[in-house]
Amino acid sequence: MNSDYEKYKDLLVRLADVQYAATVLNWDQETYMPPKGATHRAQQISTLSGMAHELSTSAGLGEILEKLTLDLTLSEKEKRNVRQSLKNFKTSKKYSTAFVEKMSLCISEAFQAWQKAKAGNNFALYAPSLEKLVGLRREECELLGYTGHPYDALLDQYEPGALTADLTILFADVRSQLVDFVKGIAAMPQNEDAFLHKHYDKQKQWDFGIGLLKQMGYDFEAGRQDLSSHPFTTSFGPLDVRVTTRVSESNLEEMVWSCIHEGGHALYEQGLPASEYGLPSGEYISLGIHESQSRLWENNVGREFAYWKYNFPKLQAFFPESLKGQTAESFFKAINTVRPSLIRTGADELTYHFHILIRFEIEKALIEGSIEVKDLPAIWNDKYKEYLGIDVPTDSEGVLQDIHWSHGSFGYFPTYSLGSFYAAQFYSKALEQIPQLENEIEKGNLKPLHDWLKEKVYRHGKFYSAEELCIQISGEKLNFKYFMSYAQKKYNRLYKFQSETSSV
């Protein structure tokens, strides 16, 4: 192999080692770290972030990248790796090490403040740290540069190529097509779902969730599950991908959807080529594509009748009293109840996108400076009333419910909706290309779908852009019509058979 390319690989592996070391500390901070460790942990992560920045902007890396861009002997994959790394290098050079360390320290402080504020239902405990963080993100937009809206600079970090103007149009389509459809469902007699909020033992829920992950194909020899206040997936490379879940003994759905959702993320990470560790070809494409993997498993598979035809009897065996008298059909109806809700992570798959719309509008306004942090609780509450028709009783259930802003993750939320739309488009192709897929799911066999995703998505790493991958899989760019077609078919059928006695 080209000796210069080998040197380039070695440099990126060293960079990945430092970055993943910081990620391990972040994971521990959100799972097992004792409260008194917060101050030193923030400093440790800040130091590693600074080291990673120095490696990513070293003169040696810049020189070898420039040299490799002129090398015609490289394979197409190697050329794409070099181009992506050079783009990353030029972006990183716009930051000073001091700025990176300052941002890392601010994020650690904001995370600790958010935890205290949420626990105490007191936004004022969080506001000063968040205000500092928003100020740094605004400064970052100017460092990076943009041609349209300053928010574009942040979007590009999570969904490369995404523009505020395009997302504004997309969410306008969501409003024009989804709002009336949801209103139509709301006007129908609603399904009974109170039994989902009976008592469900924590350990039994945990054990059932582990079974769901194993069924999906999650490799516990290359990962583990733990508890956290906000479920997440973190990767230290494809051979160590960890998930967390949240368990409520009065809400069965929290654990179920956390396990399936995070399991979808983890399968993507575990499916990336281990031989490409540290290189773009060993990384995920974008957060929209990443989210497509979790949403495909959670919604297109996990909220369908075929999945529960197999899994409900197992669930009922864990909780015979709480699920007494229920059937796979009644459970399927209950988990697909559509109603406005306070908490994004517990929202149904349709009104969920109104939660994202609210966050998108707030973030865009925060970054452009048309609103300020101190006004967030009132603005948040007003938007929930406008879009979802509900009153927000507390800040903990409102503006403090998400962890993302405490991580500085402005520009992240839109990828959740993009993921659902990609998922519907990809799954429609899976149904076309995998013979008897739904029948296999009914039998509890998820391997055909997992194998299809390995082939179509995971193995490519970042070889394709999100748009290129979408075209590669479906023959066209992202098209909202697939999501609406999926939603209409499912919910028209669901509410039509609601009063019938025949089986789903």
**Residue 62 is encoded by which pair of tokens?**
């810049």
Q: DSSP characters for 383-448?
A: HHHHHH------STTTTTS-SGGGGT-TT-THHHHHHHHHHHHHHHHHHHHSTTHHHHHHTT--HH
Catalytic residue among 262, 269, 276, 349: 262
d(CA 207, CA 314): 11
Residue 72 CA, distance from chain mean position: 37
Residue 436, C-beta contacts closer than 8 angstroms, at least 6 positions apart: none
DSSP secondary structure letter of residue 227: E
Q: Identify the three-state secondary structure at position 136.
A: helix
State yes or no: is 262 an active-site residue.
yes
Contact in structure between 306 and 438 (CB atoms under 8 Å)? yes
Q: Which amino acid is at 252?
A: L
| Helix, strand and coil in the chain, % to nearest 5 | 70, 5, 30
Q: What is the CA radius of gyration of the chain?
A: 23
Q: DSSP characters for 228-283?
A: -SS--EEESSTT-EEEEE--BTTBHHHHHHHHHHHHHHHHHHHHS-GGGTTSGGGS
Catalytic residue list: 262
